[in-house]
Amino acid sequence: MDDDVVLAAPLFAAIDTEAAHALLGSMKRVPLPRGRAIFGEGEPGDRLYVIGSGKVKLGRRSIDGRENLLAVLGPAEMFGELSLFDPGPRTATASAVSDAVLYELGHADLIAWLEEHPAVAKHLLEALARRLRRTNEALADLVFSDVPGRVAKALLDLSRRFGEPIEDGLRVAHDLTQEELAQLVGASRETVNKALADFAGRGWVRREGRAIVLLDVARLERRAR
Ligand code: CMP
């Protein structure tokens, strides 16, 4: 059951267990198979989602069809709140990169919940502020960092969400294709591949299909600076 994971989301922070379970019980459970989108960029939106299990990518497409990933989110993270707090079209397409289970909350229920538990608003603001901080950093990196630096940073960021310690390092099962990893870094697949091959050659990482093992986090951190 994903309950405990979902209850770690900011939506339930600082709330007694009974009330938190009541809200969770009122949310619709939505299984989302790998590759499927829950909504598309530009569509009207009136509900937010908390991830119970799996991974969800948020992507935008340019007029000429190129894709860019804003983020890859995992369990207990929330998305779809922007078009609730600032009514307007969805700012990105959300799709599952691995089989996922989402919990859906509609606008009216969210407003009622916030009126009943104003302290939750503070935690939602914190989550939004964190996201803005990350986005600012990513923006600065696009201007100031080279591709290997951005790759190192993306790997470290993914490891904080999805990393699991193993004998010789930190295994990050990101479930992203090479193309998606490149879209997350904001560079071509070839350049990202070259950076990964270089990191592997230096013994900093080991590639394992849609996972990567970080063998030398300290070096990667230095490269990401
Ligand atoms: P919404 O615009 O309703 O739908 C797309 C969602 O993607 C959006 O709400 C946010 O929850 C999420 N999102 C948009 N931009 C970012 C970002 N820069 N980082 C992480 N998540 C984002």
pLDDT in tens, 125-164: 999 999 999 999 999 998 999 999 999 999 999 999 999 9
In a mutational test of the pocket of ligand 1, which residue from 48, 131, 139, 141 has the highest number of ligand atoms less than 8 Å from its CB? 131
What is the CATH superfamily name and number for domain 4-142?
A: Jelly Rolls (2.60.120.10)
Q: What is the DSSP code string of 134-186?
A: HHHHHHHHHHHS-HHHHHHHHHHHHHHHHEEEETTEEEE-----HHHHHHHHT
Look at residue 176 in the predicted model and tell me its pLDDT: 94
Widest CA span of the chain, in angstroms? Answer: 55
Amino acid at 220: L
Residue-level pLDDT at 2 = 66
Q: CA dist 125 to 5, 7, 113, 132, 186, Å?
A: 20, 17, 15, 10, 27
- Residues 6 or more apart whose Cβ sits within 8 Å of residue 207: 196, 200
Return d(Cα 10, Cα 224) in angstroms, integer. 28
For ligand 1, atom 20: residue with the closest CA: 71
pLDDT by 10-residue block (mean), the chain, 225 residues = 80 85 90 96 93 96 92 94 89 96 92 88 90 92 93 95 93 94 95 96 93 96 93
Ligand 1: which of 82, 110, 133, 184 to mutate, judged by most atoms within 8 Å of the beta carbon?
A: 82
CATH class of 146-224: mainly alpha
Question: Is 59's C-beta closer than 6 angstroms to any atom of ligand 1?
Answer: no
The tokens of 159 are what?
């490891």
Q: In this predicted structure, what is the pLDDT of residue 61?
A: 94
Pair type for strands 211-214 and 169-172: antiparallel
| 216 Cα–ligand 1 center, Å | 31
Exposure of 47 in the CB half-sphere (CA atoms within 13 A)? 15
Domain residue ranges of the chain, discontinuous segments joined by +: 4-142, 146-224
State the pTM of this model.
Answer: 0.92
What is each CA distance from 221 to 7, 132, 166, 215, in whole angstroms? 31, 21, 19, 12
Residues in the chain: 225
- Tell me whether domains 4-142 and 146-224 share a fold: no
Task: Please report the pLDDT score of residue 16 as a whole number.
Answer: 85
CA of 91 to the centre of ligand 1 (A): 6
* 80 CA distance to ligand 1 middle (Å): 6
